[in-house]
Structure 1
Amino acid sequence: MPDTALLIIDVQVGVVEGELRAARLDSVLDNLNLAIAKARQRGMPVIFVQHEEDDLPHGSAAWQLHPKLARQDGDLQVFKRYGDSFCETDLAQLLQSHGISKLWIGGAATDFCVDSTLRNAVSRGYQITVIGDAHTTVSAFALSGEQVIDHFNAAWGASSATPQPLRVLPAAEL
């Protein structure tokens, strides 16, 4: 039984195709699908996380996962209301029940939900591999989405003070 799961965070229509289109979205979707294929070849669970809030109501068209994602029956789902995918969800129990100690992580938004979830997972002792070309965000504040993605990949890749290794790899190298 594999000890690794693929966690895809908030790649929802209203998140990545909203008012602003997420940076590098077409290649991010391609790389997420490559990661999904690799996970399935290895018998790893694929977990889709979906965020909901007042402007992203559960079940709405905007709340739906992006239609280009290679979903299958049997994929797992986690629903959340906060940036961190562990906060008030059953994610920790789900991972424990599958014997998961390592995560491949991709999704949206790099600087919010992906980063929050990754940091909590590191604190919980998971070994993390960020799929460096399979996460995205929109331009905000003074930075472009591309700059945010590149900055977080560099920061995560330089992080060595973690209980378990934290790696950043492109989907092709998983």
Structure 2
Amino acid sequence: MSERVLLVVDVQVDVMEESVGSDAVIANVAKLVEAARAADVPVVWVQHSDAGLAKGGAEWQIVPQLSPADDEAVVHKTWSDSLVETELAQQLEALGAREIVLAGAQTDTCIRSTFYGGIHRGYDVTLVSDAHTTGDMREWGAEFSPEQSIAVLNAQAASTKQPGATGAVTTTAEAFI
């Protein structure tokens, strides 16, 4: 059993099409998946669905550059926090996970919610600074550009602490060394 798990959130066709720097993030997630597998760190995949992203549709699929292995869990969610009303907590418990290494999309919603949701449930959560992305949410009232949103969450994650759980930030190159 590994105490660490790589959690890949919402790297789906539609989500990545509307996110900044998608090609670089997808490439970094691919590197993380390869490194995690080589280090015998379990990889858990998350896919979001809602009224605008129908489960099973072409745009809902994980991007073609990435593919879960047959023995890797795929968790389906309908809320931003990947731990809400899903079997993710049970998957993490079965794997003996204490630390989540987090990558994916979207920074402003599902990555932020899953980061803090993990911390609040007692997991140490390490955000991979160059392996998460978001779309431009200013149309819906967000104050920051996508790049600023990514930088803000990276800064906040690095200083997040509570009794029994801490946040951290790493890069793709350093995540599994």
Residues paired across the two proteins, number = 171
The CA deviation string for residues 1-48 of structure 1, in whole angstroms up to 9 with x for no partner, is 21111001111111111xxx3111111111111111111011111111
**Compared with structure 1, are the counterparts of its residues 84 and 103 closer, same or farther at alpha carbon in structure 2 (3 Å cutoff)?**
same
User: What is the rounded CA distance, in whole Å, between the counterparts of 2:54 and 2:67 in structure 1?
Assistant: 23
In 2, distance between residues paired with 1:102 and 1:36?
16
Output one character per residue of 1:89-118: Cα deviation in whole Å (capped at 9) or x when no partner. 100011101111111001111010111111
The corresponding residue for 1:62 is 59
Aligned counterpart, 2:12: 12
> Aligned partners of 2:51, 2:136: CA distance in 1, in Å?
22
Counterparts of 1:162 and 1:63, CA distance in 2: 37
- Which of these residues, 35, 38, 42, is aligned with residue 35 of structure 2? 38
Structure 1 residue identity aligned to 2:153: F
SS in 2 for 1:49: strand
- Where does structure 1 lack aligned partners over 5 or more consecutive residues? none
Aligned to 2:101: 104
Q: For 2:155 and 2:163, how far apart are their aligned partners in 1?
A: 15
1:128 corresponds in structure 2 to 125
User: Secondary structure of 1:156's match?
Assistant: helix
Supply the distance in 1 between the matched residues of 2:9 and 2:49 (Cα, whole angstroms): 12
Query: Counterpart of 2:20?
Result: 23
Runs (5+) with no aligned partner, structure 2: none
Identity across the alignment (%):
37
**Cα distance in 2, alignment partners of residues 117 and 102 from structure 1:** 13
CA distance in 2 between counterparts of 1:32 and 1:134 reads: 6
Identify if the C-alpha distance between structure 1 residues 98 and 123 changes in structure 2 by more than 3 Å, giving closer, same or farther.
same
Q: What does the per-residue CA deviation read over 1:136-160, in whole Å, with 9 as the maximum and x for residues that have no partner? A: 0011214221111111111111223
CA contact (8 A) 1:122 1:162 kept: no
- SS in structure 2 at match of 1:26: helix
Code of the aligned partner of 2:2: P
- Counterpart of 1:5 in structure 2: which amino acid? V
Return the alpha-carbon distance in structure 1 between the equivalents of residues 164 and 108 of structure 2.
22
**Preserved contact between residue 123 and residue 163 of structure 1 (Cα < 8 Å):** no
Conserved in 2, the CA contact under 8 Å of 1:6 and 1:105? yes
SS at match of 2:28: helix
**Is the 8 Å Cα contact of residues 36 and 70 (structure 1) preserved in structure 2?**
no
**How much is the aligned-residue C-alpha RMSD, in angstroms?**
1.3
Alignment of 1:72-151 (within 5 A): 72-141=69-138, 142-151=143-152
Which amino acid in the other structure matches residue 165 of structure 2?
Q
